[in-house]
Structure 1
Amino acid sequence: MTSPRRPGLNEKDLSVEGADDAPADERAWFAETPQPRTKGRVITGDDAPAREIPEEHYHGHRDRLRLRFREGGERALADYELLELLLFRLIPRRDTKPIAKALLTRFGSLSEVLGAPTHLLTEVKGVGDSVAADLKLVAAIAHRMLKSDLKGRQVLASWSSVIEYCRAAMAFEEREQFRVLFLDKKNALIADEVQQTGTVDHTPVYPREVVKRALELSATALILVHNHPSGDPTPSRADIEMTKLIIDTARPLGITVHDHIIIGRNGHASLKGLKLI
């Protein structure tokens, strides 16, 4: 049975929660559909009294947040506020603070939000495919910036930058990756390449292929890197043995293996630092 409409109200004035024609996927509606500006009275149910809702109440908050960022930079904002500021661009007509907080609650940190796989990002209410893709674009740009900082520089003199770069590249991958940083005789970065991608707990590594690629690039030194999707960077016996095999294969050809770094969500481990090589 259809309830009678109130006099003076037309369809543009009505916003009824739980209507039968609501989209099946609430996330797509919440994240992607622009909302018209609301003016005047809104009815929240067939028998509920009309109530006043301010017109886009969050716009003043957005202006204040932008002002704080312009005047104080990133140090003036909490992590959720920086993420909220980014989401302003991606979701222009919704309150993005709850989405920013939900992302940080789900993944734990800004780096983990940007490093999260797309399919997990879209499980957060308010994040659709387009928003997830834009977040991954920001992550890609950040990763490229870190790589450009290393390119041509003496890597061993910028070890913290190496770790930061590797964490951005690998810490939140769901499968193991084995990558190699190829260095010249001045220990400047020539190339960074993923050699193999494996399963959640294993990656096949072929020492001859690693050394062959080093010779092709005229590299004289290597830094080996792989990730542990479990989050624990503790090296396994297989990690140690594989590293020693690559060292033994590379040494007769004048190629030095400086270190093997294992990256996890909870930190990193250096086999050289642990005196395992």
Structure 2
Amino acid sequence: MGNNKKERDKNTLHIGHRDRVRRRFVNEGIASFDDHIALEMLLYYSIPQKDTNELAHELLNHFGSLAGVFDASVESLESVKGVGRNTAVLIKLIPAMYSKYLESKFPKEKIILDSSEKSGDYFVSQLLCYANEVLVASFLDSQLCVKNTVVVSEGTSSKLAIPYRKIVNYALNYNTPNIIIAHNHPSGIAAPSTDDIDAVRQLNQTLNKLNLKLRDSIIVAGNNYYSMAEHSKFRHLFV
């Protein structure tokens, strides 16, 4: 009897705490939340009864950061005690839905990348959910309207390897004179490395010989991006 009362009191305490956290979110937004509180609140929706604070701390300790938690695979998440399939799927759903949200800002029928800001936002939405390094290329018509965006290379290396012939073949097949490339730095910062610069220089030379124009190279890290064409020291590499 006493144990049942203690359990009821404990559940009431959890419910009260959850209500306070939700109200704080509604009133203040999430910017003021510590990472463990934000993750704890997310876990409410897959673990309706238990205290999720301890599990939030465990996940952050295990994966190193909030980004590490969201980038982890379903299998890796499930290896943490207390994380079931529903919780793992919920965690993976958050960055996936954010990526869809960013994509929805661009009308499906016509995406025009005529500024570094538009290009940066577009490629953040394209690359946000990749945990490994990925290189994509967008092929644009004479009005800088995207005809197609494809993954041209991916792997785990930190060095940007550009498949020049593949990019040229895509451009010729799509009959698009303008190209923008973008790749992500999953564990780094949004800035080009020496290898990135050399690779872009070589691609520019290759495309120029065929009257194809390299418009920009975007580096993405999380929600941040770096437009090489926007910076004066790299502008000579682009049209």
Q: TM-score, normalised by structure 2?
A: 0.74
Structure-2 change in CA distance of 1:137 and 1:158 (3 Å)? same
SS at structure 2 position matched to 1:192: strand
State the Cα distance separating 1:166 from its structure 2 match. Answer: 5.4
SS at structure 2 position matched to 1:149: coil
Could you say which residue in structure 2 is the equivalent of 1:92? 48
Task: Answer yes or no: is the 8 Å Cα contact 2:139–2:176 preserved in 1.
Answer: yes
Could you say which residue in structure 2 is the equivalent of 1:146? 102
In 2: Cα distance, 1:107 partner to 1:95 partner: 20
Q: 1:213 aligns with which of 170, 173, 191?
A: 170
SS at structure 2 position matched to 1:99: helix
Aligned letter for 2:216?
A: D
Indicate the larger mover: 106-115 or 243-252. 106-115
Could you say which residue in structure 1 is the equivalent of 2:6? 52
Could you say which residue in structure 1 is the equivalent of 2:233? 275
Q: Check if 1:161 corresponds to 2:121.
A: yes
Indicate the larger mover: 99-108 or 55-64. 99-108
Task: Give the number of the structure whose alpha-carbon radius of gyration is greater.
Answer: 1
In 2: Cα distance, 1:149 partner to 1:266 partner: 15
Unaligned ranges ≥5, structure 2: none
In 2: Cα distance, 1:114 partner to 1:267 partner: 17
Task: Answer yes or no: is the 8 Å Cα contact 2:177–2:211 preserved in 1.
Answer: yes
Q: How does 1:178-189 map to 2 (within 5 A)?
A: 178-189=135-146
State the Cα distance separating 1:95 from its structure 2 match. Answer: 1.0
Task: Answer yes or no: is the 8 Å Cα contact 1:220–1:255 preserved in 2.
Answer: yes
1:12-65 deviation digits (Å, cap 9, x = unpaired): xxxxxxxxxxxxxxxxxxxxxxxxxxx7417xxxxxxxx934251311222222
In 2: Cα distance, 1:161 partner to 1:192 partner: 14
SS at structure 2 position matched to 1:133: helix
In 2: Cα distance, 1:164 partner to 1:228 partner: 11
Aligned letter for 2:91?
A: L
Aligned letter for 2:84?
A: G
Structure-2 change in CA distance of 1:73 and 1:123 (3 Å)? same
State the Cα distance separating 1:73 from its structure 2 match. Answer: 4.1
Aligned letter for 1:275?
A: K
SS at structure 2 position matched to 1:121: helix
Task: Answer yes or no: is the 8 Å Cα contact 2:134–2:154 preserved in 1.
Answer: yes
Aligned letter for 2:43?
A: L
Structure-2 change in CA distance of 1:145 and 1:41 (3 Å)? same
Task: Answer yes or no: is the 8 Å Cα contact 1:40–1:52 preserved in 2.
Answer: yes
Q: 1:118 aligns with which of 74, 86, 89?
A: 74
1:51-109 deviation digits (Å, cap 9, x = unpaired): 93425131122222223334444456554433322211111221112223443455465
Q: 1:231 aligns with which of 184, 188, 192?
A: 188
Aligned letter for 1:52?
A: K
Higher relative contact order (CA 8 A, sep 6+): 2
Aligned letter for 2:214?
A: V
Could you say which residue in structure 1 is the equivalent of 2:3? 41
Q: Identity percentage over the alignment?
A: 31
Could you say which residue in structure 2 is the equivalent of 1:195? 152
SS at structure 1 position matched to 2:39: helix
In 1: Cα distance, 2:63 partner to 2:123 partner: 21
State the Cα distance separating 1:269 from its structure 2 match. Answer: 4.7
Task: Answer yes or no: is the 8 Å Cα contact 2:160–2:199 preserved in 1.
Answer: no
Structure-2 change in CA distance of 1:199 and 1:85 (3 Å)? closer
Task: Answer yes or no: is the 8 Å Cα contact 1:198–1:204 preserved in 2.
Answer: no
